[in-house]
Amino acid sequence: MPAKPLTIAAAPAFALPVLFLGYAVVANYEFVTGLGRDIAEMPKSAAEYLNGEAAIQIDTYYKKIMPHRLPSIDAMGAARYLAFREGRPGVVVGDDGWLFSKEEFEATLKRTPDLAEAAAGVVEVRDLLAAKGIELVVVPLPAKADIYREHVSYAAIPTDLERLYEDFRTVLDNAGIKSIETRAPLLEAKDKGQLFLTTDTHWTPLGAEVVADAVGSALGKRDTPYTIADAAPVEREGDLSKFIVTGGLAPLVGLGPETVVPREASAPPAASSADIFGPSSIPFVLTGTSYSANPQWSFGESLKVALGSDVLNLAEEGKGPVAPMRAFLDSPTLRDTPPEVVIWEFPVRYLGQTQLWKAGLAKEESQ
């Protein structure tokens, strides 16, 4: 190929392609040697290769094994956070290191159509339960950005965030569905401690307790005297901080794990041994999202104390509020040991999801 001999002066011109192509050799060494190991990830059928699905899978796999990928993601994330105080799509960065889920803000743009659909969806669930003599109680959870709007000053929190919560409760009221006021108690309890984690979508055990107490006050306390105690603290890397930077660079930009102290509720021995001779109904079933399902927040435990009763927690992580409810409606639990009351924890930010009421399609963006 070369028409002329190479000289030292020409070196800068060739350094770049040589370095680039040299790196390609290194990267492909990993690809080739890893193929044997990761062969299970490779597409198998000829049809997949014909219709392009295989190419997409190989692209994804190839991207994943690039040696520079993770360091690049961390470096870019750190640089973006330091330069712009922003993260990748999915997170809204507030003041003082507070992070918020994009879903909370998106929900406000689409609230009107979703509320009509939401009301119809909840009514359908209520009617199914009512046919079996079960009461439905909805626990709408306000957005974290609504409760801590003072930490999102630059983004100018939409007034709609508050209205979304209120409108949701109004449509539930209009449909004759019982719902619990949670926003006001959360706002009132802010001086007691932090109700939501700084770098995570979720609430703290204190925030969960405040809402559990609101549920208990509305439904009345039964007679099992549950007590609650702190469990061993756990370190949690906030689900929203993963949208900024992960790995070793996080501390350099002022992000780090938060400490969560989960709680465990216990009943007196007499109460807890009542059902050892066979299955009996637990009066309350709790369903909903990771706010209920994740034991670190201890919402189910706090509910036991607030309700003075055992609570069967059927909430699931990563599926949004609707899919776990549908799973419960189809479950043997409902058929064999129906509860008296179903408590449905429902973060209002999900109302912005267009796929929410399509069976099983709602997904939580962040965990």
- Residues with a catalytic annotation lie at 200, 202, 290
Identify the burial level of 192 via C-beta atoms within 10 angstroms of its C-beta, where 0-12 means exposed, 13-18 middle and 19 or more buried.
exposed
**Is 252 an interacting residue with respect to another protein (CB under 8 A)?**
no
Return the residues of window 195-224 that contact another protein according to CB under 8 A.
Answer: none
**Is 24 an interacting residue with respect to another protein (CB under 8 A)?**
yes
For another protein, which residue of 41, 43, 57, 62 counts as binding (CB under 8 A)?
62
Structure tokens at 297: 């927040």
C-alpha distances out from residue 87 to 74, 143, 203, 318, Å: 11, 19, 21, 21
Return the residues of window 106-165 that contact another protein according to CB under 8 A.
Answer: 108-109, 152, 155-160
Nearest residue to 344 via CA among 265, 289, 307: 289
Dist CA 84 CA 89 (whole Å): 14
**Is 273 an interacting residue with respect to another protein (CB under 8 A)?**
no
Instruction: Compute the least distance from the CB of residue 116 to another protein, in Å.
Output: 16
Compute how many residues bind another protein; rule: CB under 8 A: 57
Instruction: Compute the least distance from the CB of residue 156 to another protein, in Å.
Output: 4
285-320 burial, b if ≥16 CB within 10 A, otherwise e?
A: bbbbbbbbbbbbbbbbbbbbbbbbbbbbbbbbeebb
Indicate the residue among 82 and 234 with the shorter CB distance to another protein.
82
| H/E run at residue 139 | strand 135-141
Binding pattern for the stretch 92-111 against another protein, x by CB under 8 A and - elsewhere:
x------------x--xx--
Dist CA 292 CA 281 (whole Å): 20
Instruction: Compute the least distance from the CB of residue 346 to another protein, in Å.
Output: 21
**Is 75 an interacting residue with respect to another protein (CB under 8 A)?**
yes
Residues 6+ apart with CB under 8 A from 106: 349, 352
159: Cα separation from own chain's centroid: 23
**Is 59 an interacting residue with respect to another protein (CB under 8 A)?**
yes
Structure tokens at 306: 């607030």
Indicate the residue among 122 and 240 with the shorter CB distance to another protein.
240
Give the range of 34-42, 64-72, 211-219, 353-361 binding another protein by CB under 8 A. Answer: 64-72
Decide if 164 contacts 108 (C-beta within 8 A).
Answer: yes
Indicate the residue among 347 and 352 with the shorter CB distance to another protein.
352
Q: Is 85 helix (H, G, I), strand (E, B) or coil?
A: coil
For another protein, which residue of 35, 42, 55, 116 counts as binding (CB under 8 A)?
55
Indicate the residue among 30 and 173 with the shorter CB distance to another protein.
30
Binding site for another protein (CB under 8 A): 1-4, 6, 9-10, 12-17, 19-21, 23-25, 27-28, 31, 49-52, 55, 58-59, 62-63, 66, 68-69, 72-73, 75-77, 80, 83-86, 88-89, 92, 105, 108-109, 152, 155-160
